[in-house]
Amino acid sequence: MQRSLLATALLTAFALPAFAEEAVTVYGKMTLGVESISAKGATLSNQNIERQTRVTDGASTLGIRGSEAISDNLTAYFQIETQIKPDDSCGFAGCSTSGKSTALGPKDDRYAATTSPNTGTSRFANRPSFVGLRGDWGQVQFGRMDMYYEKHVPNELHLLRSGLNSSALAVLGSNQLSNAVGADDTVVAQKTFSVALAPIVAAAIGKDTPVNALISSTLGNAIGAAYARDLSVQQILTQAGGGVQTLFSNPQVAGALIASGVNPATAGAALQSALGQAATQAFTPGSALNQQVLQQARAYTLQNGFYFVGHRYNNVVQYRSPSMSGLTVAAAFHTREEKGMEGVAYALDKNLLNPAARRKMNPWGAELTFHYMNKGVFASVAMMRDKDPYAMGGALDSAYGIKAAYGMYFSPDTRAGVVFERQVNKYNAALGYADNKRDAWVVSGSHKVLPKLELIATYAQAMDAEIHGVKDVNSGSKYFQLTSLLTLSPRTNLFATYAKVNNESAAAYNFYVSGAAQANGEIQSAQYTPRGADPTSFQVGINHNF
């Protein structure tokens, strides 16, 4: 009765047409816990996230679903589901970072998340929401739906009953561009400033000499490393000034300059003065040099980042077959409104852009999944292709993922499963880059030690990625989680979870979305993991389904 009244109130509140639904249900779950979390051991020690205590949401949701029997073999149905995140009301993936400042200016979220979840507040219908028809022939539905990434979940059924940080999705995929592997922050900064400095060095020296490139790269590396450590502009300039003095007093550099008719002392003084002026421009948001530096950083990130396929997509049409002795087939297709826009694949050249790599983009994706679940055995193979991933700005031609999972109940109280995944990025042919690849695997198991007490353990490993055919050493990560669930009723349980992501020095994996460790003032999102840090969490909470 209460659900019916709530459903009526919600339908009235959203001013829906007054047509009778045969079955309208309000449903959801509330999962909240007190958590102690940190992420220490960062490659840059100043980026460590110290231990903090917080209340963390575990994908709390509110939904409405209903159906109408049109004939004996045709039913219309719908679902509207929203992640409500009652700990801070920021919805899927947290509040927006748009407008937050760095030394170079406001953060740019466009290339940070393919799902564009950061709206500042919770979006309505941000979880799977669709309308469809079903019958003996299967079902077809249209809307916003999950594609690929969650297809191993039956091997981790505790996902439905505890916090998201107890999911191997921490290393299987992070719904984001490149932060977890590839495009190291320090290297991006070093490459960016090396390119930006080249014309400044040439102007200060007054001519092209054999050591111009050496001076640009040496100073760019020093300034980039200092910038990555979040030093102030004055500290960066001080280090750069010392670097100029050291370089221009080096016998080999000074000798090459003199041989080219350049006075090292005069050129050094001119370069120090030019660096001061350039710094003022580079760190003044909106200036031409500032925009050049930001564009160059984005270029390097897109060319050397890693794109993970599979997440919650908009504009999806999906077909699911009826069960055939436990086997079902799912096929889905998505497209984006950006279709037809001209994509730009950036290149590290003097003009910043590679004209040959410019092309019209046609972003779309397709998934094919085979599920088998029968007599205590689960198996699945999921495959997906994203064509022209829009978040990669035209740098990628396509990205692929394939995931195989197998699990079984050994007894009514004991189950275990394994997952293997490979993700591949294929680059725009005009850039001439080899593929990016990354493998990951998971083993998970659970056992009921008492009728109402279950222990669940997961171990997962993301292997070192290959970036353009070369292994990105120290880009791997290991994940461990132990969860205990105490069932109070069919709809309510208590949980306690210990989870840790052990990142190698170049890796930046984190707990998945809501459970992510983040610096003070940042959103709870896996996009902002300090590279090399090891997110560690202990959480005790309650889950209630309704």
Q: In the prediction, which pLDDT does 121 show?
A: 47
- Name the helix (H) or strand (E) containing 445: strand 436-450
Q: In the prediction, which pLDDT does 211 show?
A: 86
386 pairs with which residues across the strands? 365, 399
| Distance from C-alpha of 221 to C-alpha of 216, rounded to nearest angstrom | 8
pTM for the structure as a whole: 0.79
For the stretch 55-104, pLDDT in tens is: 888 888 899 999 999 999 999 999 999 888 787 766 544 454 444 445 55
Asked if residue 163 lies in contact with residue 31, where contact means CB atoms within 8 angstroms, the answer is: yes
Measured in degrees and rounded to the nearest 5, phi and psi for residue 126 equal -80, -10
Q: In the prediction, which pLDDT does 395 show?
A: 77
Q: In the prediction, which pLDDT does 439 show?
A: 93
| Distance from C-alpha of 483 to C-alpha of 539, rounded to nearest angstrom | 9
- Name the helix (H) or strand (E) containing 202: helix 185-205
- Name the helix (H) or strand (E) containing 460: strand 453-462
Q: In the prediction, which pLDDT does 120 show?
A: 42
Q: In the prediction, which pLDDT does 342 show?
A: 56
| Distance from C-alpha of 180 to C-alpha of 526, rounded to nearest angstrom | 8
- What 484-487 contacts at long range (C-beta under 8 Å, 24+ apart), as own/partner pairs, is 484/453, 484/454, 484/455, 484/456, 485/158, 485/161, 485/162, 485/453, 485/454, 485/456, 486/452, 486/453, 487/452, 487/453, 487/454
Mean pLDDT by 10 residues, the chain (546 residues): 48 47 84 89 80 85 94 95 79 47 48 37 79 97 90 57 59 55 66 80 87 84 74 74 80 88 88 80 76 71 76 92 95 79 47 61 91 90 89 80 91 90 87 87 91 91 88 87 91 92 86 66 57 89 91
Taking the domain 2-176+308-545, which CATH number applies? Answer: 2.40.160.10
Closest CA to 538 of 30, 16, 37: 37
Sign of the dihedral through C-alpha 160, 164, 436, 504: negative
Asked if residue 395 lies in contact with residue 431, where contact means CB atoms within 8 angstroms, the answer is: yes
Asked if residue 198 lies in contact with residue 216, where contact means CB atoms within 8 angstroms, the answer is: yes
Question: Alpha helix (H) ranges present in 1-143?
Answer: 2-13
